[in-house]
């Protein structure tokens, strides 16, 4: 048996033991985990400094460096999020539904842990803590595989959290990380159907596509965000400008940042020049269609077909002038990744059509796509943002890490 298989088997055994723990035990472990993050912050920061040095030498883009970087404030924020989970209502054991069958059997559907949750993720060491804490809260064992860019940081955080959880009384293998960054380790993890209950990839399009196409373990598809802002003919310019700038520039390296701007032809002469100038002044590289370029207000690179479907995760944005709401909806449903989409409009009917006809996990009227986040939605920490439709969709908090089972209590009934 390989090391990866042994690790998964230990996780399976830990998951059975975790299922017997109480809410108080798991919450106590979360408090201990948060305290350990703070007390061991120097160790974590030393590991992160090595990751940052290697990433800079490799020419890693600034938005990815921002995702990778930890400091004392960020570690404290991670610890605070872990503590907050301890105060959340425990979904395990919640009665989802119940009734008495005609034959007298009392039937209840209750929430239970998924079992063993594996995560494969890239340059975001905070995901290690988020995933571990969410799994502990919901009684799941966590198997974590961080990317090579953040591997030292991820392993340091995982080790700190695992030790704290064990010292607080949880099974030893409740939180485990794969130390190898070799592609073969990921491939083997994806093959462990029967040991791993669900796999959650969190990262770029290539990682997610590889997991969806090749995993034998059930996958929850997350994260890729080719998000659009559509400035409708009924949009207020000041509002549109604020929303576009926030959605694109506030934090460009995250999945809910806007990557594409659509502007109605009816307002392209009045609204688009102001928006283009503001984006250019902020350092955004613009890739536009011929109508956008013909305005001549700033430098705009000719857009290619690939631009319409690209998640830049950088200070870049595609821009297209559309004939109206129908073309905007068609364009978004063709090139979007079903993550987060927004319309800016003062027209109630246009807003309602957009809400009804856009196929995405989160659809906005007159608000930035940057709000698609578990904490912002009031769900607490999130393990990812699902862009698929089965099991979970949108920001995935505690409930998304549960399944259900039926409890049937009879007094001797047999089926005729």
In tens, the pLDDT along 330-342 reads 999 999 999 999 9
Q: What is the CATH number of the domain that holds 141?
A: 3.40.605.10
Percent of the chain with pLDDT over 90: 87
Residue 273 lies in a domain: yes
Clarify whether residues 59 and 12 are in a common domain: yes
Record the tokens describing residue 307, joined without a space. 């631009």
Q: Are residues 112 and 160 in the same domain?
A: yes
95-143: per-residue pLDDT in tens? 999 999 999 999 999 999 999 999 999 878 999 999 999 999 999 999 9
Residue 383 counted as domain residue: no
233 and 170 share one domain: no
**Per mean pLDDT, which range of 109-123, 211-225, 252-266 is the poorest?**
211-225
Q: Does residue 120 sit in the same domain as residue 258?
A: no
Tokens 């796509």 appear where?
A: 369
- pLDDT of residue 306 exceeding 80, the answer is yes
Q: Which of 190-204, 256-270, 273-287 has the lowest mean pLDDT?
A: 190-204
CATH number at residue 294: 3.40.309.10
Whether the per-residue pLDDT at 395 is higher than 80: the answer is yes
Answer yes or no: is 233 within a domain: yes
DSSP string covering 243-309: HHHHHHHSSTTSTTSEEEEEEEGGGTTTTHHHHHHHHHHTTPEEEE-HHHHHT-SS--EEP-HHHHT
Q: Note whether 128 and 81 are same-domain residues.
A: yes
Q: Is residue 355 part of a domain?
A: yes
Q: Is residue 416 part of a domain?
A: no
CA angle 97, 101, 105 (to 5 degrees): 95
Do 185 and 298 contact (CB within 8 A), yes or no? no
With H, G, I as helix, E, B as strand and everything else as coil, classify residue 408.
strand
For residue 45, CA distances in Å to 63, 144, 245 come to: 19, 20, 32
Q: Give pLDDT, residue 124.
A: 85
With beta carbons less than 8 A apart as the criterion, state whether 217 and 193 touch: yes
| HEC-encoded secondary structure of 101-118 | CCCCCEEEEEEEECCEEE
Count Cβ atoms below 10 Å from residue 191 Cβ, excluding itself. 17
Provide the residue range defining the domain that includes 247: 227-371
Does residue 384 fall inside a structural domain?
no
Same domain, 324 and 354: yes
For 36-45, give one letter per residue: b (16+ CB within 10 A) or e.
bbbebbeebb
Q: Cα–chain-centroid distance for residue 101?
A: 40
Residues 141 and 241 in one domain: no
**Whether 25 and 42 share a structural domain:** yes
Residues 205 and 239 in one domain: no
3-state secondary structure (DSSP) of residue 210 = helix
Dihedral of CA 337/351/234/265: which sign? positive
Identify whether 248 is part of a domain.
yes
Domains contained in the chain, number:
2
194 and 272 fall within a common domain? no
Q: Are residues 312 and 245 in the same domain?
A: yes
Number of neighbours of residue 409 by Cβ within 10 angstroms: 10
> What tokens appear for 283 in the block?
């350092």
**pLDDT at residue 61 in the model:** 87
Quick one: tokens of 330?
Answer: 């068609």
Q: Identify whether 385 is part of a domain.
A: no
């Amino acid at each position: 048996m390989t090391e990866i298989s042994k690790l998964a088997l230990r996780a399976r055994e830990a998951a059975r033991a975790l299922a017997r723990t109480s809410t108080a035990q798991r919450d106590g472990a979360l408090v201990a985990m948060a305290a350990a993050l703070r007390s061991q912050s120097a160790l974590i920061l030393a590991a992160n400094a090595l990751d940052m040095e290697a990433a800079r030498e490799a020419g890693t883009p600034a938005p990815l460096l921002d995702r990778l970087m930890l400091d004392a404030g960020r570690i404290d924020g991670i610890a605070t999020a872990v503590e907050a989970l301890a105060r959340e209502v425990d979904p395990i054991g919640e009665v989802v539904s119940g009734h008495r069958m005609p034959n007298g059997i009392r039937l209840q559907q209750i929430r239970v842990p998924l079992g063993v949750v594996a995560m494969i993720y890239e340059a975001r060491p905070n995901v290690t803590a988020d995933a571990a804490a969410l799994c502990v809260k919901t009684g799941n064992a966590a198997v974590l595989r961080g990317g090579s860019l953040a591997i030292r940081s991820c392993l340091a955080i995982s080790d700190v959290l695992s030790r704290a959880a064990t010292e607080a009384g949880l099974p030893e293998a409740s939180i485990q990380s794969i130390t190898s960054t070799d592609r073969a380790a990921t491939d083997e993890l994806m093959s462990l159907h029967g040991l791993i209950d669900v796999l959650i990839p969190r990262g770029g399009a290539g990682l997610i596509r590889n997991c969806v196409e090749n995993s034998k373990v059930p996958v929850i598809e997350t994260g890729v965000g080719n998000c659009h802002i559509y400035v409708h003919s009924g949009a207020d310019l000041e509002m549109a400008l604020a929303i576009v700038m926030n959605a694109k520039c506030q934090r460009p390296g995250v999945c809910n940042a806007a990557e594409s701007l659509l502007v109605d032809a009816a307002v392209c002469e009045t609204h688009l020049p102001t928006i283009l100038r503001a984006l250019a002044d902020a350092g955004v590289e613009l890739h536009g269609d011929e109508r956008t370029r013909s305005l001549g207000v700033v430098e705009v690179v000719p857009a290619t077909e690939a631009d319409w479907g690209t998640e830049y995760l950088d200070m870049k944005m595609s821009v297209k002038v559309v004939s109206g709401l129908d073309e905007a909806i068609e364009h978004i449903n063709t090139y979007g990744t079903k993550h987060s989409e927004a319309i800016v409009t003062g027209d109630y009917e246009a807003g309602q059509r957009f809400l009804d006809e856009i196929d995405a996990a989160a659809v906005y009227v007159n608000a930035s796509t940057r709000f698609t986040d578990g904490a912002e939605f009031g769900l607490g920490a999130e393990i990812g943002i699902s862009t698929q439709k089965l099991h979970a969709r949108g920001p995935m908090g505690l409930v998304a890490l549960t399944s259900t089972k039926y409890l049937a209590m009879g007094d001797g009934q047999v089926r005729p």
